[in-house]
Amino acid sequence: MTTPVQHCKECVELLGEYIEGTLPPDRAKALEEHLSTCPPCITFVRTYKATGRLCRSVMKSDMPRELVTSLKSFLGEHVPGFSCTKPDSGPAPSGVAADSGRKKV
């Protein structure tokens, strides 16, 4: 038997795991039952999801190409397992070394 989500505060605490799909199935079911009867929490969930989409969209469109290239290079060098799924097209921006992605001094 699932333990019901009785308070909106508990809903907010479970939301991150729920959105990521890591919330245990019994807790996800209890959260969904709460959401089906609580308009303020439904609104909160919709806003929570929309905020992430909007931020990713704005960040993607406003980031200069030079910053993207430099960031990918840095992450490739310093984060184990990082790989870029979309290779950059065209030559490296001026002032950036092709092999390291760092600016020439």
pLDDT digits (tens, 9 = 90+) for 9-64: 888 888 888 888 899 999 999 999 988 888 888 888 888 888 878 877 776 666 78
Alpha-carbon gap, residue 42 to 16, rounded angstroms? 14
- State if pTM tops 0.75: no
Question: Residue 73's closest CA among 57, 95, 88?
Answer: 88
pLDDT tens digits along 58-105: 766 667 889 889 999 998 888 888 876 554 444 444 444 444 444 443
Domain extents in the chain: 8-62, 63-105
pLDDT tier for residue 3 given thresholds of 50, 70 and 90: low
